[in-house]
Each structure stands twice: as structure tokens, then as C-alpha cells.
Amino acid sequence: MEHTYRLVISCPDRVGIVAKVSNFLSTYNGWITEASHHSDTQSGWFFMRHEIKAESIPFGLDQFRAAFEPIAREFNMSWHIADSARPKRVVLLCSKESHCLADLLHRWHSKELNAEMVAVISNHDDLRRMVEWHDIPYHHIPVGKENKAEAFGQIEELLAQYEVDVVVLARYMQILPAELCEKYAGKVINIHHSFLPSFAGARPYHQAYSRGVKLIGATCHYVTQDLDEGPIIEQDVIRINHSDSIEDMVRLGKDVEKNVLARGLRSHIEDRVITYENKTVVFD
């Protein structure tokens, strides 16, 4: 993978944004390898993502931030720049179902995902051997009605200890407390086994079966305090018909779930997602 810097910007839309940023990069011989722009005419907001050859810039990220700050102030930008050579630190949370966890571990092991899988946390001990085969620490923290506060306190301590960049709920069947959602806003990704906003909550395949739907799907989204209502990153569907049982739908749905979660995580770790209000702009 080529060493690049990823410059990600959102700001009120106006004339001259692209020219100003491009001129800044050109001044320092910055070589743009990828450029993505989107103007939201309804909100009047502008979104931008540039990848720049790191070797073409004559200084590091700290100096880049200092040099770029006057432009950011001028255009009232919300922005950040990331280094592709510094993979994001990921903690996976899971319960008993293995398909999403196994898929992400395989993609990481085969270097399809440029991330650092630093730990797995689970409320069950079932998947320990799978995780430890990958030489990844496995933390079993049971969660019950009596110990929820204590359990999530331990999880929060682990996330801080691992200096986590992103948390992935790989079919983790517990609801995160509001304080944790707020602390890691925009950094917790969930896979919901439904094409949200349809069939939110529990047992979506049973709900879908009872309605006789012709499509089932999955949704990868950021976690917020409002259950299953966070900004959507990625979605997909698969066609079914009247002959498919609930078991068939669950089997087919698992394939969609793991693919959608992997694509959503990839977009996040490559700094391709910009959140605005309760929506996202995702640059391919």
C-alpha cells in the first residue's frame, strides 16, 4: 500500500474551497492521488477527501496541521488529516455468533484490512480459541442484570488501555450504555441484521418472514444513544421468495451481514466516511 496522507474536510459550501486547498497542496508540491468532493444542496454543506503522497510533502503531519490551520479557520472547516502508515487500532466486541468475527479476522489476517486488531472482548467464552489462534488477546467479561455497570466499566477501562480508534460490534448482543456511546461517538460501528429502518429491534428475520418480504438486508451504522438509529455507513440486500424459511433467511442474511460490516469498517479505517447530522457521506 502506498504511503499517503488523507485530508478529510467538511464545511459550509462556498466558492473557492477546492481551489484554496489545491493551491495549498501545490505550494508544497503535494501530489494528490485521489480526490473526492460532494456538495449537499439541501444543507449547503461541502465535503472533501484528498489522498496525498506522503513523500511529496516536505514535512510531517504536525507541521501540515499548523500550515493548514489558517485555511481551516477561513472556511470554518471541520477537518482532520491521517497517516495511512499508522493503521487504526480496532477492538472487536462479540457474543456467541461467529460469522462476523471470523470474517473480519480472516480479512485482517490476509491483509485485506489495513488495521491493527488489538483485542476482542466478549460476554461469552465460546470464541476464545478462534481469537487466540490469531494471537489476539481475548477478554471474557460476562454481562448480566446485576453487574452491567461494573462490566461496562471494565470494558471502558480496556478500551482506554488499548488506546482504541474504533470499536466494532461484531454481533455483540448487548446494548452499550449512553455514556460509552457519547465518549466514543463516531468510533463505534455496529452491524444490524436488518435493512434499517425496517424491522429494527430483535428477531428481524422473524418479523420479515411474517410480512412476506421479498428482500432482506443488513445495515452497518455508527452507534448512538438511540438504539439502531445511528448514521448509516453501508447497506446491502439479497432477494428471497415465498419458499424461503426463517432458517433460510437467517443463513442468507449472515452472508449479507458480514460483507456489509467488512465494507463499512474498511470505509471507516480508510477515512472515507464523514458524518453530518444523522447522515454520512461515504467516498468510494
Nearest to 176 by CA among 192, 186, 164, 188: 188
What are 220's strand-pairing partners? 191, 234
Nearest to 194 by CA among 241, 243, 167, 232: 232
Nearest to 277 by CA among 26, 5, 38, 10: 10
Strand 88-94 and strand 78-83: pairing? unpaired
Residues with Cβ within 8 Å of 186's Cβ and at least 6 positions away in sequence, in order, are 222, 275
CA distance 194 to 229: 12
State the catalytic residue, choosing from 228, 248, 271, 284.
Answer: 228
Cβ atoms of 85 and 3 within 8 Å: the answer is: yes
Chain centre to alpha carbon of residue 205? 24
Cβ atoms of 11 and 75 within 8 Å: the answer is: yes
* 228 included as an active-site residue: yes
Rg (CA), the chain: 21
CA distance 15 to 110: 44
Which one-letter amino acid corresponds to residue 37? H
Looking from the CA of 73 toward its CB, the CA atoms found within 13 Å total: 6
The number of residues in the chain equals 284
Strand ranges inside 172-258, DSSP E: 188-192, 215-222, 232-239
CA distance 161 to 164: 8
| Residues designated as active site | 228
